[in-house]
Amino acid sequence: MIAWLVACAAPPQQEVPSPAPIAIDDADDADDAPADVLFRVSDRAIRGSRFGPLADFQLRLSNALVDCGRAELVVDGMFGAATADALAELATCPGYEVLADREPGALDAAAWEVVAPDVLAPDALERALALTLTFEGTDYDRAEWNLATPGDESSALTWGPFGATAGWGGEVQQVLAAVDATRPDLVDRAFGRESRAVRRLIDVSGRDAAEYLRPVFAEPRRRVVWADGFAALGADPSVREAYLDTALSDDWLGGSLARLWTLLPDPAAATEVDLAFFVDLAVHVSVTDDRIAAARAAAADATSPAERRQAIGRVFVADLGRWAPHREGRDGAYVIDGASLSEGERASFKRFGRVRASDVGLSDDRPSPVVF
């Protein structure tokens, strides 16, 4: 299963967007990522997970810098200007000169092997998930209350990297049930006196979750205990595995991914970027039969994978109302390396996208590592 998973006077470096923003006008002509590029600095830091391989790589990079008498690096599971600069700094240290022989601002497989030979580099699926995490801005140890968010009250509470909600689909309950069935001690330790109320939530439908959770949300102390409890759960490896297994099941993302896969002329010919695009769609919007039918018709005449993704994306954007620019900006990440964006799409990408599939080393020249 995917593993989503120092002493210096100078302060640790922190991830910030690259000072040189992406050239939107020229981005359509960008080349696909070389086979060995894993991450590349873009206009925003790429968010992996604090519990994933990128964070493990950063830790080893930071330790190597400290051993060389340089400033440590903040380990946050994000790839941005700070990590790229840290790699360049390490290349000036004895024994690491080979790191200078690489694309500026990029982390490739060779550099990964030099810095962290004991950490398995993230594969295409893990990097596809990192792209979605970059947009979602969440991690396994983060829960948010939505009961005071206009238009989103029915979701009640959102937890984790793929937006599990207590309302709507009740994915939070599914993960809690999976954890409690095998490790009830984790629920007890994480939630303490609230563990009984948390277990009662498991049997509450998504439709009724908001009403059940309102008394919890109304009391600031309980609200904090629940948020801290989900953070504690997310820090445990077995919980993260249960979360991911549940997310990829047919009742959650797996079913949506299977429906999206039917939009490909040849499901076995899906590319790395197709995989990333479908994962992001499944996490972000509802994959309904009507949308699938409309997308199939819209993409029928596409002549390239990028054009097909663009046609599919336009169907899903059409009825999203005020959220349409957000989705359109994300779609641009999976289109801009291989097709031209409209003026409106460019504006949305510049505002809400600002990162490309090739920035996480994904290409239409390579097949998807998995088929749904």
**DSSP assignment of 29-51, as one string?**
GPPPPPTTEEEE--SS-EE--TT
Domain boundary among 69, 104, 134: 134
Q: Is the dihedral of CA 362, 116, 142, 351 positive or negative?
A: negative
Confidence band of 144 (pLDDT split at 50, 70, 90): very high
What single DSSP character describes residue 91?
T
Domain extent, residue 325, equals 253-360
> What is the predicted pLDDT for the residue at 107?
97
Residues 127 and 161 in one domain: no
For 227, residues 6+ apart whose C-beta sits below 8 A from its C-beta are 143, 144, 145
Burial environment of residue 1 by CB neighbours within 10 A (0 to 12, 13 to 18, 19 or more): exposed
pLDDT digits (tens, 9 = 90+) for 176-235: 999 999 999 999 999 999 999 999 999 999 999 999 999 999 999 999 999 999 999 999
Q: DSSP 3-state assignment of 271?
A: strand
Residues 171 and 70 in one domain: no
For residues 71-81, give the mean pLDDT.
96
Q: How far is CA 131 from each of CA 174, 276, 356, 357, rounded to the nearest angstrom?
A: 24, 8, 9, 7
**Inside any domain, residue 152:** yes
Q: DSSP 3-state assignment of 179?
A: helix
> What is the predicted pLDDT for the residue at 16?
35
Q: What span, in angstroms and rounded, lies between the C-alpha atoms of 271 and 370?
A: 10
**Inside any domain, residue 372:** no
Residues 130 and 152 in one domain: no
Q: In degrees to the nearest 10, what's the CA dihedral of 147, 152, 155, 161?
A: -110
Confidence band of 102 (pLDDT split at 50, 70, 90): confident
What percentage of the chain has pLDDT greater than the value 90? 85
Residues 37 and 115 in one domain: yes
Domain boundary among 101, 134, 167: 134
Residues 319 and 259 in one domain: yes
**Inside any domain, residue 191:** yes
Burial environment of residue 97 by CB neighbours within 10 A (0 to 12, 13 to 18, 19 or more): exposed
Residues 214 and 300 in one domain: no
Residues 123 and 213 in one domain: no
Q: What span, in angstroms and rounded, lies between the C-alpha atoms of 209 and 186?
A: 22
Residues 109 and 159 in one domain: no
> What is the predicted pLDDT for the residue at 29?
46
**Inside any domain, residue 323:** yes
Domain boundary among 134, 156, 185: 134
- Lowest-confidence segment of 17-26, 82-91, 133-142, 296-305 by average pLDDT: 17-26
**Inside any domain, residue 279:** yes
**Inside any domain, residue 210:** yes
Residues 126 and 33 in one domain: yes
Indicate the helix (H) or strand (E) that contains 107.
strand 106-108
Residues 267 and 352 in one domain: yes
Cβ(268)–Cβ(262) below 8 Å: no
Alpha-carbon Rg for the chain in angstroms: 21
Q: State how many domains the chain has.
A: 3
| Residue 20 pLDDT greater than 60, yes or no | no
Residues 220 and 120 in one domain: no
Residues 225 and 291 in one domain: no
**Inside any domain, residue 297:** yes
Residue 237: how many other CB atoms lie within 10 Å? 12
Token digits of residue 235: 């820090």
**Inside any domain, residue 367:** no
β-strands 46-47, 37-40 pairing: unpaired
Q: What span, in angstroms and rounded, lies between the C-alpha atoms of 52 and 3?
A: 6
- Lowest-confidence segment of 7-11, 18-22, 335-339, 342-346 by average pLDDT: 7-11
